[in-house]
Structure 1
């Protein structure tokens, strides 16, 4: 294995927790990619159908973005110390005039509602001026004129698609949505360092970085400055899984082969610490390995986690992060909902510990793309991979949770088709005959690449845990669907009843949380904050269906 040439940064963050209502209700997987979104109308309808059957409290922010789209009709060398930035959320932006501030005397509830966070995001996005964005891009291309031809909003960034005149290059100007993040500059720096490192040390196709900074004024109404990243636009379209499933066999196999090549390139990059890449000091070409900048911590508005030398310590921290998504009160949350959450979280704690091989507790650790879903894989029409985007939350992680994407392996949902995983394994088996790195991945993922001998239970455990690390709000479904049936032949309700009879302290915790949620529900109603934008959209949709007799 290659030893990744980076400087190591030790960092210990101050402990601070800002748990917000938006964190809980906006905790689902990103509705749109931070580079650009290619969700079709039918895919959105399917997602909506699935989400309305899921836990409403974890789908609201996703649904608000989704409905806006529906209504538009898809319109280790030395030790260095690094100080992390700490951009606090603007209270005035959150408590905007549309809804007003929350009661300052109520300290037991989240600081703001989803709608208030969404107002802050929309206000920020609306303030960005297209002419200023073009002027910024022109500054880094010898003053050549350009125009913004498209704009896409992701969970954490606004992406402006810029084209220069006279058949010039096509770039993306990416601006972090500052109300959505507490440390946008460090997230941006990590992505830059990661893409540049991959560009120079691997064959993985990534966007070429043209410029980045934090001194751009991109509004006409403020004298403040904005962070930005300018990179080449990778030609092609985000991968559509439906297209992949229905593509000719040779195209599917070629896609899986390329994806495996990308995963082997990442697997070669080994590190002595768990952490995220950051630019080296004083313009050094070698990045430093600093704190873990994770999507989960960003969603919960926590400081980045420190570097880790122990995989077990990292997994304990990840377990705590996952639990953090279920701590804030949620309106109309029932005792049964909370029981299932507590039951699943308790069960996953043991699994998070078991997935780590004690012999590999101290590494080496492997660089991983956190969000390798279809939207971040750019392909051409024959499904040849043109580029991998959205590296902002990449980090070195324990080898056991470096796995193929869960949408391929089927460990994101028991309803996922098994076809892709079977074909993926067939291609990996074939590549193993001529590529020792593919053979290594096969052994690490599946044992000896022999289904009759592989420890499938260990594989399922690792693949499920890896998915929960990517999507913490799926933990209840993952535990109840994949693990609970293997622990007992009893019905899930009977298992939970027996569990809480044996764990009276947790039963009392369920009751405490239920009472907290009820107080929060009444609090929102009292202050006119109970009905959300999503509620209004759903009501409008229902009225239209009734008016036009739609089924």
Structure 2
């Protein structure tokens, strides 16, 4: 008999949780014709029969997405992947539109990187679609007659703010979405309001920091198991109050209105492919990327393969220093191509002041 677990707002067993996942996968598997038609449309194929959907056991999935491998053609077959957000993991029920938001922001990330960092190796994006029925196809895969009217990346708006890039209804890359991080949709998946609508962007650092602190207020207010006991309650409330008082001390006033830096907030070891000589060959899983204050850019915490609360300062500092030396060397090679401030200078100061944490 399956053991019952108490969740925030209901009870669940392992078998019922597995059924929720299986039902979604079965729904997708039962709509293979739809999958083939979608792929054929984006690749400009003559017939969806050229597509072969892999067996369910070969599908790949993580905490928020499922990736369906699809083979195209027979003789010179190539493989593509259809990637879908898991609606029961991104807060779609509580915050309708979260699934589409995630897709739009990921597509915006691909478009931004391809347009601004063409040397960064990433998977090729052929197109994407939304629950509304809207579809967007990379112009290189459209018939020549339609390329000029359906191009996604012909115009890129300059940005001066904090938020996530999306490709809008006109196919234009624009900063017009809240700075989408995994924490936001995790909270909303637990029915905790973030009070940050999909179309929110920020022009100043302090306005963004204030709303981030509101996340924690709402978690404390709406999460049934937010505290363990009275002492824990006092500690959390004291910490939140203190952060509101001293938060401005962690950020320099000169950077209050920028610069803002595009950041892959979920980049970790399993998303970085390397060759035998440790040269990076591809970055994958480009989700949760957004434009953030430059002082929020920091070295990865996973350098020593330890959790944040398990780090050994001396071990981490050795690798952090090596990383910073490499960053400084890259900046010197690019001298004159970018305006100040240097990212390495800002990161060194935030490490010294404790803003890093």
- TM-score after normalising by structure 2: 0.71
Q: In structure 2, do the counterparts of structure 1 residues 125 and 335 end up closer, same or farther at CA, with 3 Å as the change threshold? A: farther
Map 1:164-183 onto structure 2 (within 5 A): 164=72, 165-180=74-89, 181-182=91-92, 183=98
Deviation digits for residues 415-470 of structure 1 (CA, Å, limit 9, x no counterpart) = 253242132123234445433369912211115xxxxxxx7531xx2211xxxxxx
Q: Residues 295 and 228 from structure 1, CA distance in 2 versus in 1: closer, same or farther, beyond 3 angstroms?
A: farther
With over 3 angstroms needed to count, the CA separation of the structure-2 counterparts of 1:332 and 1:226, relative to structure 1, is farther
CA distance in 1, matches of 2:12, 2:284: 28
Residues 139 and 430 (structure 1 numbering): CA distance in 2 closer, same or farther, change over 3 Å? closer
1:355 counterpart = 2:243: no
1:331 Cα shift?
9.2
Q: 1:462 — aligned with what?
A: 355
- The Cα of 1:357 is off from its aligned counterpart by 1.4
Distance 1:326 1:462, change over 3 A: same
Whole-angstrom distance in 2 between the partners of 1:228 and 1:444? 40
How many pairs does the alignment contain? 303
* Change in CA separation of 1:317 and 1:332 when aligned onto 2, cut-off 3 Å: closer
Per-residue CA deviations over 1:121-160 (Å, capped at 9, x if unaligned) read 4432342207344554345442323242621222221111
Match for residue 151 of structure 2?
none
Distance 2:69 2:231 in 1: 46
Of 178, 186, 192, the residue aligned with 2:107 is 192
Whole-angstrom distance in 1 between the partners of 2:208 and 2:135: 31
Q: Quick check: which has more Rg, 1 or 2?
A: 1
Q: Which residue of 2 aligns with 1:209?
A: 125
Equivalent residue for 2:311, pick from 405, 415, 426: 415
Q: CA offset at residue 312 of structure 1?
A: 0.2
State the Cα deviation string for residues 20-40 of structure 1 (Å, max 9, x = none).
xxxxxxxxxxxxxxxxxxxxx
- On the 8 A contact 2:177/2:198 being kept in 1, the answer is no
Matched, 1:444 2:340: no
Which of 127, 130, 133 is the matching residue for 2:27?
127
Would the alpha carbon gap of residues 290 and 430 (structure 1) be closer, same or farther in structure 2, given more than 3 Å must change? Answer: closer
Query: Are the aligned partners of 2:177 and 2:199 in contact in 1 as well (CA < 8 Å)?
Result: no
Query: Any residues of structure 2 matched to 1:532-547 within 5 Å, and which?
Result: none
The answer to whether the 8 Å contact 1:191/1:392 transfers is yes
For 2:17 and 2:165, the matched residues in 1 are separated by: 29
SS of residue in 2 equivalent to 1:444: helix
Cα 1:167–1:413 shift into 2, 3 Å: farther
Answer yes or no: is the 8 Å Cα contact 1:275–1:293 preserved in 2. yes
Change in CA separation of 1:429 and 1:370 when aligned onto 2, cut-off 3 Å = closer
Compared CA separation, residues 178 and 426, structure 1 to 2 (3 A): same
What is the TM-score when the length of structure 1 is the normalising length? 0.48
Distance in structure 2 (CA, Å) of the matches to 1:110 and 1:168? 47
User: Is the 8 Å Cα contact of residues 210 and 230 (structure 1) preserved in structure 2?
Assistant: yes
Deviation string 1:371-393 (CA, Å, 9 cap, x unpaired) is: 11112222233322122233332
Residue pair 1:411, 1:463 contacting (<8 A) in 2 also: no
The question of whether the paired residues in 2 share the 8 Å contact of 1:277 and 1:290 is answered with yes
Indicate the residue corresponding to 1:480 in structure 2: none
Q: Give the match for residue 377 of structure 1.
A: 272
Given the superposition, is the C-alpha separation of residues 352 and 151 from structure 1 closer, same or farther in structure 2, using an over 3 Å criterion? farther
The structural deviation recorded for 1:174 is: 0.6
Alpha carbons 2:103, 2:130 under 8 Å: kept:
no
Corresponding residue for residue 320 of structure 1: 214
Give distance in 2, aligned partners of 1:271 and 1:420: 33
What is the alpha-carbon root mean square deviation over aligned residues?
3.7
Q: Give distance in 2, aligned partners of 1:332 and 1:275.
A: 31
Alignment match, 2:150: none
**1:283 pairs with 2:171:** yes
After superposing on structure 2, the runs of 4+ consecutive aligned residues of structure 1 that deviate more than 6 Å are: 225-231
Distance 1:420 1:112 in 2: 44
Query: Separation in 1 of the partners of 2:246 and 2:266?
Result: 22
Q: Is the CA contact 1:367–1:396 (under 8 Å) kept in the aligned structure 2?
A: yes
Report the more deviating stretch, 133-142 or 146-155.
Answer: 133-142
Q: Which has the higher helix share?
A: 1
Match of residue 149 from structure 2 = none
Query: Is the CA contact (8 Å cut-off) linking 1:275 and 1:290 kept in structure 2?
Result: yes
Corresponding position of 2:182: 295
Work out the CA distance in 1 between the residues paired with 2:238 and 2:12.
27
| Residue in structure 2 matched with residue 162 of structure 1 by the alignment | 70
**Residue in 1 aligned with 2:51?**
145
Question: Is the alpha carbon distance of 1:157 and 1:113 closer, same or farther for their aligned partners in structure 2, counting shifts above 3 Å?
Answer: farther
Residue 397, structure 1, aligned to residue 303, structure 2:
no
Secondary structure of 1:171's partner? strand
